[in-house]
């Protein structure tokens, strides 16, 4: 079955099990009459026997109808709700108190304008976990604390980054943190697999780990000297991992026009969800963008089969600057 979702201040959407559709009222100046049992010429031809008058009732009439158009699920609210009360660990005082601002799957289904599958998929993407029946996002510092436990253990045990044993992690770290949290951090930052002997291992995501460490470094200042940052960053990542700027797409932006070059935190998930508002926001941060720089910040706006190029054509104006194509706003930005 289908569900229509939305709060009073939101535009209604219709959701199937795995898709979301915008709902609009379409008006027509024509009159639409609906007639149950009215026969079409084909149906009458087939039914040669009757040449009698068929009395049909018009069930009703209308000047408008609801129209559906497939749309992106409206998932920004999901992160917003879960960030109301991020999980800070078992030692935190906060959790003892109320269940206010904590959401079960049912709660989310009634508050988020998206299909169930789209919501569950997004929960996985943002590394949410269920604690006592409620979906929680980890507070970033706590998340990094957990990650650090794991990377230090990998280092001291000299494990290969692609073969981190679950069992040993739980044994060694179980006294420091809840076992569910240790397993959760391994699932968030690694790919789980089972070897021939039936043992569970994780292949760690180098890019994701380096990215998280970069975020930790960048969030403490407005911007950084790029080369200094790169040095500190490489020293901070686990042994055997290479920190690369392309790992930071959608997380940080390099300013190549400043002397020296600088880098600052800009997270795509902090930007508006609406297309026009997103572009306005990006153009107020930087007047002219290259396609390479802007793509990570508009990729998620693409509808099914829509390209970044199509979005740029619609929402931006292009020009050449020093032989490079750049994009700026179509309208003045205050």
Of 11, 92, 101, 110, which lies in the binding site for other proteins, with binding defined by CB under 8 A?
110
Q: What whole-number distance in Å separates Cα of residue 299 and Cα of residue 257?
A: 24
- C-beta closer to other proteins: residue 67 or 195: 67
Of 18, 24, 27, 35, which lies in the binding site for other proteins, with binding defined by CB under 8 A?
35
- List CB contacts of 281: < 8 A, sequence separation 6 or more: 271, 272
Euclidean distance between the first and the last CA atom of the chain, given in angstroms as a whole number? 46
Q: What whole-number distance in Å separates Cα of residue 152 and Cα of residue 167?
A: 16
- C-beta closer to other proteins: residue 41 or 323: 41
For residue 30, state whether it binds other proteins (rule: CB under 8 A): yes
For residue 49, state whether it binds other proteins (rule: CB under 8 A): no
Of 25, 29, 156, 246, which lies in the binding site for other proteins, with binding defined by CB under 8 A?
29
DSSP state of 225: E
Question: Binders of other proteins among 275-294, rule CB under 8 A?
Answer: none
- C-beta closer to other proteins: residue 26 or 222: 26
Stretch of residues binding other proteins (CB under 8 A), selected from 32-40, 124-132, 233-241, 281-289: 32-40
Q: What whole-number distance in Å separates Cα of residue 285 and Cα of residue 283?
A: 5
Smallest gap from residue 21 Cβ to other proteins (A): 12
The site string for other proteins over 56-85 (x = CB under 8 A, - otherwise) reads x-xx-x---x--------------------
Closest alpha carbon to 223 in 191, 270, 267, 266: 266
Q: What whole-number distance in Å separates Cα of residue 293 and Cα of residue 287?
A: 12
List beta partners, residue 317: 328
Smallest gap from residue 3 Cβ to other proteins (A): 5
Q: What whole-number distance in Å separates Cα of residue 177 and Cα of residue 152?
A: 14
Residue 34, CB-side half-sphere exposure with 13 Å CA sphere:
8
Smallest gap from residue 95 Cβ to other proteins (A): 24
Q: What whole-number distance in Å separates Cα of residue 17 and Cα of residue 3?
A: 9
Q: What whole-number distance in Å separates Cα of residue 117 and Cα of residue 315?
A: 30
For residue 93, state whether it binds other proteins (rule: CB under 8 A): no
Smallest gap from residue 112 Cβ to other proteins (A): 11
- C-beta closer to other proteins: residue 8 or 259: 8
Q: Which residues bind other proteins (CB under 8 A)?
A: 1-8, 14, 29-42, 44-45, 56, 58-59, 61, 65, 106, 109-110
């Amino acid at each position: 079955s289908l569900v229509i979702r939305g709060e009073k201040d939101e535009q209604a959407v219709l959701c199937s099990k795995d898709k979301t559709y915008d709902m609009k009222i379409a008006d027509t100046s024509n009159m639409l009459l609906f007639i149950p049992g009215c026969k079409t010429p084909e149906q009458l031809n087939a039914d040669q026997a009757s040449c009698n008058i068929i009395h049909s009732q018009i069930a009703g009439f209308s000047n408008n109808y609801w129209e559906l158009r497939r749309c992106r699920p409206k998932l920004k609210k999901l992160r917003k709700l879960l960030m109301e009360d991020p999980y800070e660990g078992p030692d935190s005082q906060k959790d003892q108190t109320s269940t206010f601002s904590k959401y079960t799957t049912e709660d989310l289904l009634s508050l988020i304008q998206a299909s169930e599958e789209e919501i569950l998929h997004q929960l996985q993407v943002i590394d949410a976990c269920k604690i006592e029946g409620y979906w929680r996002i980890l507070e970033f510092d706590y998340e990094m604390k957990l990650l650090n436990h794991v990377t230090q253990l990998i280092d001291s045990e000299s494990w290969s980054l692609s073969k981190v044993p679950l069992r040993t992690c739980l044994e060694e770290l179980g006294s420091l943190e809840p076992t569910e949290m240790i397993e959760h951090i391994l699932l968030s930052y690694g790919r789980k697999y089972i070897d021939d002997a039936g043992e569970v291992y994780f292949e760690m995501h180098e890019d994701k780990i380096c990215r998280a460490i970069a975020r930790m470094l960048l969030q403490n200042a407005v911007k950084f000297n790029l080369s200094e940052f790169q040095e500190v960053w490489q020293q901070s990542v686990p042994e055997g991992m290479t920190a690369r700027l392309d790992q930071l797409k959608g997380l940080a932006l390099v300013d190549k026009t400043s002397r020296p070059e600088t880098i600052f935190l800009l997270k795509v998930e902090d930007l508006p969800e609406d297309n026009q508002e997103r572009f306005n926001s990006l153009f107020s941060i930087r007047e002219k963008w290259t396609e390479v720089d802007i793509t990570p910040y508009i990729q998620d706006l693409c509808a099914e089969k829509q390209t970044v190029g199509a979005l740029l054509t619609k929402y931006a104006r292009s020009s050449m600057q020093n032989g490079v194509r750049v994009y700026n706003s179509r309208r003045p930005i205050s």
